[in-house]
Amino acid sequence: MLSGKSGKAGDQALLTGDLSQTSSDLPARSLSSRLMAIFFVSAFALVVAASTILYWAAIHALQYADDQVVEKRMTAVAELLRAKELNEGMIAHEVNEDNQGPRQIFIRVVSRHEPIALETIGMDAVLPVSLFPDMSAAPRESAKRLSIETGNGGIYRALSIRVPVTAHPDAGDAIIQVATDTKLDKKSMSWFTRFLGMVLAAALPMSAVVSWLLVRRELKPLEHIAAAASAVNSATLDKRLVLEGLPSELHSLGLQFNSMLGRLDQTCSELKHYADTIAHEMRTPLSRMRLESEIALSSAETADDLRGVVASNAEECERLTRLLHALLFLARTDSKQASINPQRLHLATELATIAEYFEASASAAGASISVTCPGYSYINADRELLQRALGNLVANAIAHSSEGGRIDLKASGGTACGAGVIISVSDTGHGIAAEHHARIFDRFYRAAMNTGDSGGTRLGLGLSIVKSIVELHGGQIALKSEHGKGTAFIITLPHHASPADEGERV
């Protein structure tokens, strides 16, 4: 699942700060088990819901069929009663036609005209008139449907309607009562219920199996991602997760994973370069100290010879001390342990102090230092750190200046109304080529130019320290330079700088 393709950078992930919590302390929760449970419950609930709907649909369908049968027989009798010539024999035939058979249909005609006051044989014993609604006051031709439950447990679907007797209007309207038993409906529903029970019994294990198969299939990409993650080590950080074929949700995860690998790869490369550079920076003075000490032990004859070796070693120790102090400062700023002690500073005074301190060095390099700053400019900043940052920039400018060069310290802003401050340190020296601008603030980075540092006394950490100090104050630093035309570092600081809540003083 890992390839050589790089992914796009993603949003920063949320991390917990509790490093004491290990994997053994975390609750064991299986995503696949939870998904299987959700799919299983959902699938089985869907089957149960469908079965319930089918069950009630079957009941209503059978009831509808019973209503159609009853209505058809009622219509046949009602048409005979509405006829101009009353056919009493035909009415009697209709009343007793379905007295026998698997589905009994009972018909009763209630009328004052005696010849047509008929009912199916045995109907009075099963369905007496009292079980039907009183239709004497009901509107003519208005049918009323109902279910009748008898004392012996029988259930009948019935219909009652009042119709006119056209051939004998003096006899008044007749009431037709029709009912059919539902024994066949009960048998059908009993069979259908058993069938649904078998469906539910089969659906239970089938839902579990289908859920397991679906979850296993859908979680396969996650297993591949986990396998790819377990294969990551310092030697495979250049590999990337293959995103082809991943679902859209996991595709986003894969992009973030590849982005993380890219950041890890870059960080490891930087750490390796950082460690190699530190080793080189420390090896050089240590080698000199050892070589000079060995020479002194083998050939020094006078106290002056030994004193010269000790003085040289002291210089190398001073260089190592500066290196370690610089690294310690950068480490503290990286780990957010550094804090500042801001105080109200008169900016013109601070710049003049720095210019005076470096005036001798600038003169020795054949350069001059000038300060331009309005007298009303004030800033809240850490004096020691501000002087260190500006001192590094001035020292850097002196190192890159030639005979007749000029170094300008300028400031603006910092008024009483709370405006921010802009400080620039510019020189007319060699300048920095455009290809070096992006990495000029990197640690141990030295642009390939004639710096006059043939002895290797400069560490390549000065600009990194300047940037860290500016950012500690909540500011920004920018570079403007062109090769052969000088360099300007522009610092923008807010008017107010608050000390950090936590951390140790740098």
Q: Measuring CA to CA, which residue among 379, 382, 400, 394 is closest to residue 496? A: 379
27-49 pLDDT, tens digit each:
566 778 888 888 889 999 999 99
Residue 280's domain spans which residues?
Answer: 248-332
Average confidence score pLDDT of the chain? 81
62 found inside a domain: no
Instruction: Tell me, yes or no, whether 347 and 489 share the same domain.
Output: yes
What percent of the chain is predicted at pLDDT more than 90? Answer: 26
Same domain, 363 and 479: yes
Please identify, among 182, 211, 235, the residue that sits at the C-terminal boundary of a domain: 182
Let me know if residue 393 belongs to a domain.
Answer: yes
CATH code at position 159: 3.30.450
pLDDT (0 to 100) of residue 498: 41
What integer is the mean pLDDT of 159-169? 90
Same domain flag for 314 and 376: no
Q: Let me know if residue 236 belongs to a domain.
A: no
Query: Same domain for 270 and 296?
Result: yes
User: How does DSSP assign 303-367, residue by residue?
Assistant: HHHHHHHHHHHHHHHHHHHHHHHHHHHHHHHHTT-EE---EEEEHHHHHHHHHHHHHHHHHHTT-
Which pLDDT does position 99 carry in this prediction?
65
Considering the domain boundaries, does residue 20 fall inside one? no
In a shared domain, residues 95 and 167:
yes
Residues 326 and 358 in one domain: no
Residues 349 and 484 in one domain: yes
Measure the CA–CA gap between 459 and 437, rounded to whole angstroms.
18
Q: For the chain, how many structural domains are there in total?
A: 3
The predicted pLDDT at position 10 comes to 39
Shared-domain flag, residues 316 and 360? no
For residue 475, report the phi and psi dihedrals to the nearest 5 degrees. -110, -170
- Is 318 inside a domain boundary? yes
Q: Is residue 392 part of a domain?
A: yes
pLDDT of res. 434: 83
Q: Which of 165, 182, 199 is the last residue of a domain?
A: 182
pLDDT per residue over 238-276, tens digit each?
788 788 877 877 888 888 888 888 888 888 877 777 777
* Calpha distance 223→221 (Å, rounded): 5
Q: What are the b/e assignments for 105-139, b being 16+ CB within 10 Å? A: bbbbbbbebeebebbbeebeebbeeebbeebeebe
Whole-angstrom CA distances from 224 to 107, 141, 163, 310, 446 are 75, 75, 79, 62, 43
How far apart, in whole angstroms, are the C-alpha atoms of residue 469 and residue 385? 6
Cβ–Cβ under 8 Å, residues 422 and 389: no
Q: Does residue 310 sit in the same domain as residue 385?
A: no
In a domain, 174, yes or no: yes
Q: Is 489 found in the same domain as 355?
A: yes
Given the structure tokens 């009901």, which residue do they identify? 138
Task: Return the CATH number at 313.
Answer: 1.10.287.130
* pLDDT value, residue 419: 60
Give yes or no: residues 407 and 360 share one domain: yes
Mean pLDDT of 96-106: 77
CA distance 70 to 179: 6
Same structural domain, 370 and 470: yes
Pick the last residue of a domain from 289, 309, 332: 332
User: For residue 276, is it within any domain?
Assistant: yes
Report the range out of 77-81, 269-273, 284-288, 339-343 with the highest average pLDDT. 77-81
Q: What is the 3-state secondary structure (H, E, C) of 267-318?
A: HHHHHHHHHHHHHHHHHHHHHHHHHHHHHHHHHCCCHHHHHHHHHHHHHHHH
CA atoms of 459 and 456, how far apart (whole Å): 8
At a CB cut-off of 8 Å and minimum separation 6, what does 241 contact?
A: 1, 2, 3, 7, 225, 228, 254, 257, 258, 261
How much is the pTM?
A: 0.50
Query: What CATH number has the domain bearing residue 441?
Result: 3.30.565.10
